[in-house]
Amino acid sequence: MRKILKKIIVLCILTTFTFSLTGCYDATGIEENAYVVAIGLDLAESNELELTIQIATEGNNSSGGESSSSSSQSKQTNITTVKCSSINSGISLINNHISKQTNLSNCQVLVISEKLATYGIAEYIDTLLNNVELRNDCSVIISKCSAKDYLNNVKPSLEIFVARFYESTLQSAKYTGYTINISLAKFYSKMKDTSCEPYAILGAVSTESGTNSNAKLNYDNTAGENPITDSDVIDNFGIAIFKNDVLVGELSGLDSICHVMITNELDECTMSVPNPFESGKYIDLLLTSEKDTKCSVSYVNNSPLISVDIYLDGRGLSLDEHIKYDSTESLNLIESSATKYIQNQVSNYLYKTAKEYNSDICGFGKYAISNYLTLQEWNDSNWLGNYKNSFFDVNVYLNVESGNLFTKS
């Protein structure tokens, strides 16, 4: 009896296994997927959503031992655009059209056009976050031109793979401060937060007018207006300001430096400050953060008074016979000139965010929230609506050390 039972059980198990093997339902090989490296969202003329996806195809060139030096002639990526009513229906149509199934797990960049952003992007951000494949650490870029143009103009000159280009180019914020690197999750977090507003990277295609324009001090202009000429026509410069999920304004490169100083994201940046030894000339300083910025919020007549203390370390980069870094008085002179200048710029930036845009992108709300005991009270205080009435008290403490290799020429 037991033997027969055993045989029956073994038979059942075998049948179960054979049935499980008949599909291997979800096993998809690597070569069966088309990997998307960038997604672009536009508003078409007919007020429909226009979805653009950039698929990496450079891998195809390296089979059979061919060197990839011929890649300049063949396309590195494949760009497909579709008009659709929503993102997922667009992706579905593209899946039908191209030979492989799209896979969003390597998407590095989400490009949204300015035009679309002014109408509000909450539904797109929510939908994309809900997507299982998409990693929520991809960067969010608002482009001044259309997303399609932006993606079409991505032609990396220093890299082979487009994916690597995106990774490296967005790290530049660390050592220049002219823009910030924000991920989808952080954008969403700030969008939902009742104590701050979201912001995104500002990108554009360099135009003729931009390339031929004059250089402003500390590049106080936004993306696409920079006087730089090369084959990389994409320019990520400045910050796009949002109020809730609607684009309300743009900040220049200089404003962006001020922003990273306040939000403790400054690694290092180069700033030109007025030269105290020679009028009309400027000294370049390499600024790093000495310690965390201290902010505090208090209320004066129902208006928030925000005081910001920024601590910086500087190193003198430019050198000529007039500039001296060796004595305390000359250093103090440089310090006072630089401090005044930076204070001025930061103040301007803060008042711009408050008065012009009414958008607390620096996140001062988190310092105000500690004055309340329950979430209900906080919500009733309506911080984000009240931000335009804020006053700012900015103090910059700069400590200039000597020059790099020379202290005097």
Partner 1 sequence: MDSPKLGTIETIAILSLIMANKIILNLPKDIISSTGSSAWLNTIYIIFLALIFVLIITKLLCSFNGKDILDISQYLGGKPLQYIIGTIHILIFMAIILLILKNFTTTLKTIYFEHSPIIFVMLFFIVAASISNKFGIKPIAKVTLFIFPLATIGLIILLFSPASDFQIQRLTPIFGYGLDKTFIQGTMNIFALSGLGYIFFLPTLMDKNTNLRKIALFSLGISGFFLFLSTFCLLLVFSFIIDTNESMLLYVLTMFMRHGNLIHGINTLFVLVWILSIIAYISTTFSFALFILKKTLNLKEIDSSNYCICTIILGAAVLLQNFTDFGRSFEYIIQYIILAFVFVADPLLLLIANIKQKLSSSRSKQSILNRKECL
Partner 2 sequence: MNNFFKSLKKVFTFTDDKHHLFRYDNASSDSSSSSDSNNDSNLNSNEPNSTDSTTKKINSSISENQKYLEKAYNTKLSTDIVIRNFNVLVQNVRYKAFLIFIDGMVDSNLINDFVLSPLMLRNKANSYDGKQKKLVSEDIINNVKIKNYENKKISKSNLTTFVYNNLLPQNSVKKVLEFSDVFSAVNMGDCVLFIDTIEEAYDIDVKGFKQRSIEAPTNEVVVRGSQESFVENLRTNTSILRRLINNENLVLESIKVGKITKTNVSIGYINGITNKKLVAEVKYRINNLDIDYLISSGQLEQLIQDNPNSIYPQMIATERPDKVVNYLFDGRVCILVNGSPYALVLPGVFVDFLSSPADFNLKYQFANLGKIIRLFSLLLSVLLPGMYIAVTNYHHELLPTELLFTIAASRESVPFPIVVEILLMEISFELIREAGVRVPTPLGPTIGIVGAIVLGDAAVSASLVSPILIIIVAITGICSFAIPDFSLNFTFRICRFLYIILGYLAGFLGIAAGIFVQMVLMCNLKTFGADYLDPIPINKRSISTYFVLPIWKRERKSDFVRPQKKYSEGKISMKWRYK
Q: How far apart are CA 90 and CA 49, in angstroms?
A: 9
CA dihedral angle for residue 78, residue 82, residue 88, residue 89, rounded to 10 degrees: -130
Angstrom distance (rounded) from CA 387 to CA 362: 11
Q: What residues have CB less than 8 Å from 155, skipping those under 6 apart? A: 231, 232, 233
- Does residue number 135 form part of the binding site for partner 1 (CB under 8 A)? yes
Instruction: Indicate the pairing of strand 101-103 with strand 303-316.
Output: unpaired
| Residue selected from 15, 16, 28, 327 as contacting partner 2 according to rule CB under 8 A | 28
From partner 1, partner 2, none, interface partner of 63 (C-beta below 5 to 8 A by class):
partner 2
The interface with partner 1 within residues 104-133 (CB under 8 A) comprises 105, 132
Task: Give the residue, chosen from 18, 27, 72, 302, that forms a contact with partner 2 under the rule CB under 8 A.
Answer: 27
**Bridge partners of residue 82, in order along the sequence:** 51
Q: Is 220 in the site for partner 2 (CB under 8 A)?
A: no
Q: Is 309 in the site for partner 1 (CB under 8 A)?
A: no
Q: From partner 2, partner 1, none, which one binds at residue 36 (CB under 5 to 8 Å depending on kind)?
A: none
Choosing from 135, 281, 340, 388, the residue that interacts with partner 2 (CB under 8 A) is 135
**In this structure, what token pair is assigned to residue 253?**
């490169």
CA distance 46 to 255: 35
> Which DSSP string do the residues of 374-395 spell out, in sequence order?
SHHHHHHH-HHHHGGG-EEEEE
Helix (H) or strand (E) holding 103: strand 101-103
Task: State which residue, 300 or 373, has the beta carbon closest to partner 1.
Answer: 373
Taking the complex as a whole, the smallest distance from the CB of residue 138 to partner 1 amounts, in Å, to 10
Annotate each residue in 64-103 with x if it binds partner 1 (CB under 8 A) or - if it does not, as one string. ----------------------------------------
User: CB 237 → partner 1: shortest distance, Å?
Assistant: 23
Cα 229 to its chain centre, rounded Å, is: 23
Tell me which of 41, 56, 91, 241 binds partner 2, using CB under 8 A: 56
Q: Which residues make Cβ contacts (< 8 Å) with residue 108, sequence separation at least 6?
A: 37, 38, 138, 139, 163, 166, 167, 170
At residue 135, the 3 state secondary structure works out as coil
| Helix H or strand E encompassing 42 | strand 33-43
Radius of gyration of the chain (CA): 27
Annotate each residue in 104-123 with x if it binds partner 2 (CB under 8 A) or - if it does not, as one string. Answer: -xx-x---------------
DSSP 50: E
Q: Count of residues binding partner 2 (CB under 8 A)?
A: 32
- Out of 161, 277, 282, 367, name the contact with partner 1 by CB under 8 A: 367
Residue 69 binds to partner 2 (criterion: CB under 8 A): no
Residues that bind partner 1 (CB under 8 A): 16, 20, 23, 25-26, 105, 132, 135-137, 167, 183, 185-186, 188-193, 195, 366-367, 369-370, 372-378
Binding site for partner 2 (CB under 8 A): 1-2, 20-21, 24, 26-31, 33, 35, 37, 56, 58-64, 103, 105-106, 108, 133, 135, 161, 163-164, 167
